Amino acid sequence: MDELCAQGVGTFLDHFDLDYTRQEDVRTVVETMMMARRTHRNRMHAYFKKFPSKEAALLKPHPDTTEEQWKELCDLFTSETFMKRSEQNKKNRSKLTVNHAAGSRSFQRTRACMKNQESESILQSCIRRIIQTKMAFGTLEGAREIYEWMDAFQCQCDLEGKSYTEIEVYLEILDKKSGYVQGLGRALAKARDEIEAMRAAREKDLQEFAKKQAEMEATLRDHREEQRVEQERIRLEQEERMKREQEHMRVEHEEHMQQEQEHMRKEQERLRAEISKELEKKMSSVMEKKMSDMSKRLFSQFGGSKR
């Protein structure tokens, strides 16, 4: 068994460029080796069941094993634990309504693993499972071809921004048969119909979303146009109001200036009249005084000469 694992690792290194610092590559190699080991053990068990007893099987080892390895396998196949588990697995398989293609892993466990694969994309999972299947049956060239094919398909999906379920990837890459999808087992016609219905529903949803988006964009454009018209109307109203206010202020200013000028003119006339009256009074007083003085001088001159 160790020799088989060593051969498998060597085959990987010869045909694939793997980076053992990446968790995905390490997990792929480990799970592939585990599947190869289980496949080899199942082949040995099928060969063992052809014999009526353990002693008869020991007399004719399988060509792909040594006598020591075959003895260990016979001891395993006749152990109480193995026989009890084998019997229970037979009962479990008899209750299945579809063919099971996940080895010893149950449907529930398979679903849980698919949900918990956070670091592995669906395409990586499909690539890993297909390569494991091809490696288990010794068709490495086919596995490498599918590996390169799906790697290119993944790049295309990344560029186009598309997403696929695991079953959709198998339907896209592998050949289709009636009621069968390579790599997933038989009795999947219903699943394919469901996938097609889901894809049609998704396309319909996308079309409806695009339609709603177009309607929203049209509504947004109309709303923006209404806002622009409203803003233009408000701007014109503000300009008109400012013009009216400026005109009103100009008229008020002119009226105020006229009133001020009229008030100043009247005040000047009043002051001029008061000044004129004051001057007249002063001149009248001066004239009276001069006349009085003159009368006195004349009286003194003429009155004194008569005496």
In tens, the pLDDT along 15-31 reads 555 566 777 767 777 77
Max mean pLDDT among 171-175, 228-232, 272-276 falls in 228-232
Per-residue burial over 159-186, b if 16 or more Cβ lie within 10 Å, else e, is: eeeeebebbbbbbebbeeeeebbebbee
pLDDT > 50? residue 197 = yes
**Which of 29-33, 125-129, 235-239, 298-302 comes out lowest in average pLDDT?**
125-129
Model confidence band, residue 92 (pLDDT cutoffs 50, 70, 90): confident
Average pLDDT of the residues in 121-139: 54
pTM: 0.37
The predicted pLDDT at position 16 comes to: 56
In tens, the pLDDT along 139-190 reads 555 556 666 666 666 666 666 666 655 556 655 655 555 544 444 444 445 6
User: Distance between CA atoms of 181 and 126, rounded to whole angstroms?
Assistant: 13
pLDDT > 90? residue 281 = no
Question: CA of 214: how far to CAs of 95, 218, 220, 223, in Å?
Answer: 52, 6, 10, 14
Give yes or no for a contact between 144 and 61, defined as CB atoms under 8 angstroms apart: no
User: Distance between CA atoms of 125 and 150, rounded to whole angstroms?
Assistant: 11
Tokens of 271: 């002051």
The predicted pLDDT at position 186 comes to: 46
Nearest to 128 by CA among 37, 34, 42: 34
The predicted pLDDT at position 95 comes to: 78
pLDDT > 50? residue 94 = yes
Number of helices followed by number of strands (H, E) in the chain:
10, 3
The predicted pLDDT at position 119 comes to: 41
Q: Which amino acid is at 9?
A: V
The predicted pLDDT at position 194 comes to: 74
The predicted pLDDT at position 103 comes to: 61
Model confidence band, residue 303 (pLDDT cutoffs 50, 70, 90): low
User: Distance between CA atoms of 32 and 13, rounded to whole angstroms?
Assistant: 13
Give yes or no for a contact between 148 and 136, defined as CB atoms under 8 angstroms apart: no
Can you name the residues that pair with 181 across neighbouring β-strands? 176, 185
The predicted pLDDT at position 231 comes to: 93
The predicted pLDDT at position 236 comes to: 93
The structure tokens 């099971």 sit at 100
**pLDDT above 70 as % of the chain:** 59
Arithmetic mean of pLDDT over the chain: 75
The predicted pLDDT at position 237 comes to: 93
**Which of 159-168, 205-214, 278-287 comes out lowest in average pLDDT?**
159-168
Report the run of H or E that residue 283 belongs to, with start and end: helix 189-306
**pLDDT above 90 as % of the chain:** 20
Rounded to the nearest 5 degrees, what angle is found at the Cα of 229, between the Cα atoms of 224 and 233? 145
